[in-house]
Amino acid sequence: MFDARIAEVAAAVTARLEAALAPYPGDIGAAMRHASGGGKRLRAFLVCEGAALHGVDPVPAMDAAAAIEAMHAYSLVHDDLPCMDDDDLRRGLPTVHVKWDEATAVLVGDALQSLAFDLVAHAALPADRVVTLTASLARASGGLGMVLGQAMDIAAETAATPLTLPQITDLQAKKTGALIEWSAQAGPVMAGADTGAMGEYARALGLAFQIADDILDVEGDESETGKRLRKDGDAGKATFVSLLGLDGAKAEAERLVDTACDALAPYGDKADTLREAARFVIARQS
């Protein structure tokens, strides 16, 4: 059920992004399309599945799903830059600054971020819900959310002592978790419903996702992940694996998945696809 649903969402959100990006000309347009293509589309899936769970019209739900994928793509373009993680491979393809240049990559990231707000601000929803959705996306992606997590991650690279487990958890809750939490809560926000259960689900899911990434960095295959691996270990950075050990990290990821699934109890078996998504997060190979 999950495999079919995420494939359906991926195809639909890719088509929506392609339509939204069609007017963008030249290298900026080409690089935006390059950066926003591919990927698991997990965040879009969370938006669409949460929307379906709350009876939201699929048209504005798809605008919100495309918005979060554009925002995520922007974050990856900037994260890959030489001044940050300095990666030359993303989703098995050259990163934007490698295929074009650094200036283009900066501008493409800026343009994708703007596109995200454009998409969500024009969603066919009551005005108060559009405002809530747009404002919460700004908080999740900005200097109190993802950007702060990125800054904390950069600072950790030159810190005199490695981060502790609570510090790593806080960092990743912002860097990775903030956009995942927004994605899961978008459905109830669009419906004007309570976001509590979906927020609890997403917070556990986001940390499990990052732990799985840390495990993949140790055990993964670059041909499957589509990016360079073992960079964190080589750089001596603290990760969930370095702090908990490989077996401990796997056990913690399993515990978080159980927490995420338990949070969905108010929805009964209607949320089984979201439960499958939680299990997918720690079983994936990319």
Q: Domain holding 105: CATH number?
A: 1.10.600.10
pLDDT at 111 over 90: yes
Selection from 54, 36, 72 nearest residue 125 by Cα:
54
Radius of gyration (C-alpha) of the chain in whole angstroms: 18
pLDDT at 81 over 70: yes
For position 229, what pLDDT does the model report?
59
For position 233, what pLDDT does the model report?
57
Percent of the chain with pLDDT over 70: 94
This prediction's pTM: 0.94
The CA-atom distances, in angstroms, between 42 and each of 20, 49, 191, 281 are 20, 10, 20, 9
For position 231, what pLDDT does the model report?
65
pLDDT at 220 over 80: no
Q: How far apart are CA 114 and CA 123, in angstroms?
A: 15
| 284 band by pLDDT with thresholds 50, 70 and 90 | confident
| 226 band by pLDDT with thresholds 50, 70 and 90 | low
Dihedral over Cα of 17, 19, 24, 26: its sign:
positive
Name beta bridge partners: 90.
Answer: 93
pLDDT, averaged across the chain = 94
| 157 band by pLDDT with thresholds 50, 70 and 90 | confident
**Total domains present in the chain:** 1
> Is residue 243 within 8 Å of residue 218, measured between CB atoms?
no
8-state DSSP, 254:
H
| 140 band by pLDDT with thresholds 50, 70 and 90 | very high
Q: How far apart are CA 247 and CA 215, in angstroms?
A: 10
pLDDT at 232 over 70: no
8-state DSSP, 90:
E
For position 218, what pLDDT does the model report?
86
Residue with tokens 């554009």: 70
Greater confidence (285 vs 88) lies with 88
pLDDT at 238 over 90: no
Residue 140 belongs to what domain range? 2-283
Q: How far apart are CA 9 and CA 55, in angstroms?
A: 16
Q: What is the rounded average pLDDT of the residues 228-250?
A: 80
pLDDT at 224 over 60: no
